[in-house]
Amino acid sequence: MFYFDNFYGKKILKSSLLDDCFFTTREFVLTPADRVDLTKEAEENRKLLKEKTECIDIYTAKQIHSANIQVISKDKTFYDNTDALISDIEGSLIILNYADCTPIILYSKKNNIGAVIHAGWRGTEAEITTKTAMKMIKEFNINPCDITALIGPCIGKCCFETDEDVFLKLVKDVKNTELYDYKNNKYYIDLKLLNKNQLLETGIINIDISSYCTCCMSDIFFSYRKEKGKTARHSAVVKIKRG
């Protein structure tokens, strides 16, 4: 179950399933992106995050809507052209950033290994969620039953309007009308459900899904579509526990 909490006075979204993971909001911007006016605020927030979580460092990436996945190294904090980060380094904090795309967090408490995924429609089409989960499962020999997954706030089926080209790329099973709505010659696709199905394919069943649409709730989250590209980013944050 998702609930709003606060991180030293700044609103965050958490799930009751995982302690050391959360999604930030407009109140706790870590990446200003096109909102250069928020640069200083983001710098201060990153400093606060680093200090209060006592992490060894923040590890992040230049996201490009790919299916490129990296397992982090302790001495490298920034990853070019990467849309999923996996970490087994105790005390490391991995973050990726979003404005409508789907944020997914994976964590195995038993193995103390976490991942964060950026799945927009292109990443979802490229099955980055399946690929990241499988990499985590295989490279670290994890039982999928030991992984908890959180699907955070993203643009919902209510607002993710597309034409037929994107629809056909994303929805392989057009008979499954749970995945989309069709009205006035437009398709409305459920990115959360598509990514949930990718997780289920890998054997992960412990999944919590946020009900929030970033476009409908752009007072709380950033929305690329609603704000016509001139927006900052909210973030998915995973801290790997110290043993």
Residues that bind Zn ion (CB under 5 A): 156, 158-159, 213, 215-216
Contact 68, 81 (CB under 8 A): yes
Sheet hosting strand 161-162, strand order edge to edge? 161-162, 186-189, 180-183
**Position with the least CB separation from Zn ion:** 213
- Nearest distance from residue 214's CB to Zn ion, in Å? 8
- Nearest distance from residue 208's CB to Zn ion, in Å? 19
| Nearest residue (CB) to Zn ion, 107 versus 212 | 212
- Nearest distance from residue 8's CB to Zn ion, in Å? 30
Count Cβ atoms within 10 A of the Cβ of residue 57 and give its class: 0-12 exposed, 13-18 middle, 19 or more buried: middle
176-212 residues labelled b (16+ CB within 10 A) or e (exposed): eeebbeeeeeebbbbbbbbbbbbbeebebeebbbbeb
| Nearest residue (CB) to Zn ion, 17 versus 216 | 216
- Nearest distance from residue 215's CB to Zn ion, in Å? 4
How far is residue 169's CA from residue 165's CA, in Å, rounded to a whole number? 6
| Nearest residue (CB) to Zn ion, 192 versus 239 | 192
| Nearest residue (CB) to Zn ion, 148 versus 223 | 223
